């Protein structure tokens, strides 16, 4: 009697386009437990339910300070440049664009700068994000207006200067 081929459950074979076969071990699939692999962000509660020392308690603040891969200094949030005659419409467009990126707090003053002694990493992240938001604002302003506000140190001060200068 002929011998039967027994196929092991621990591997399988396949042939590629050139006719050679390859034996590949079969991997047991496990169910992914997403809760087990969630990274702990600053501000999340520790196992005892209390915030850890040196961490911010709310995650929306962390979202505002974070930058995505597409958030670069050359990004143009609105297509039309701010001129002296179109401030009100472009003000609304810029607010919508920054709100959609969770960065509106940098221009309306609702986002407070973290204490660099208590949260040095968060303070550095805040400064970097503020600089990016400032460049976004400068990218949306005509060159003659930008020349008068280029030395402003924060996005909020730049926004206030533009409001005073152009809302008249």
> Strand, helix or coil at 25?
strand
Mean pLDDT computed over 27-53? 49
Q: What is the pLDDT of residue 149?
A: 87
- Closest-CA residue to 85 (of 144, 153, 139, 151): 144
Span 86-98, pLDDT tens digits: 888 888 999 999 9
User: Is residue 56 pLDDT above 50, yes or no?
Assistant: no
* Predicted pLDDT at 135: 93
104, 98 Cβ separation under 8 angstroms: yes
CA–CA distance, 20 with 18 (Å, rounded to integer): 6
Mean pLDDT (the chain, rounded): 75
CA distances from 84 to 77, 90, 142, 144, 151 (A): 19, 11, 9, 10, 19
């Amino acid at each position: 009697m002929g011998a039967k081929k027994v196929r092991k459950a621990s591997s399988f074979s396949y042939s590629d386009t050139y006719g050679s076969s390859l034996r590949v071990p079969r991997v047991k699939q496990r169910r992914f437990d997403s809760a087990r692999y969630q990274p702990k962000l600053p501000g999340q509660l520790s196992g005892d339910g209390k915030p850890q020392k040196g961490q911010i308690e709310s995650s929306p603040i962390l979202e505002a300070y974070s930058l995505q891969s597409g958030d670069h200094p050359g990004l143009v949030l609105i297509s039309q440049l701010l001129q002296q005659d179109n401030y009100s419409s472009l003000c609304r467009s810029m607010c919508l664009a920054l709100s959609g990126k969770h960065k509106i707090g940098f221009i309306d003053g609702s986002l407070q700068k973290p204490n660099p002694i208590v949260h040095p990493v968060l303070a550095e992240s805040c400064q970097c994000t503020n600089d990016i938001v400032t460049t976004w604002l400068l990218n949306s302003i005509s060159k003659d207006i930008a020349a008068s506000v280029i030395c402003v140190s924060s996005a909020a001060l730049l926004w206030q200067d533009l409001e005073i200068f152009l809302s008249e």
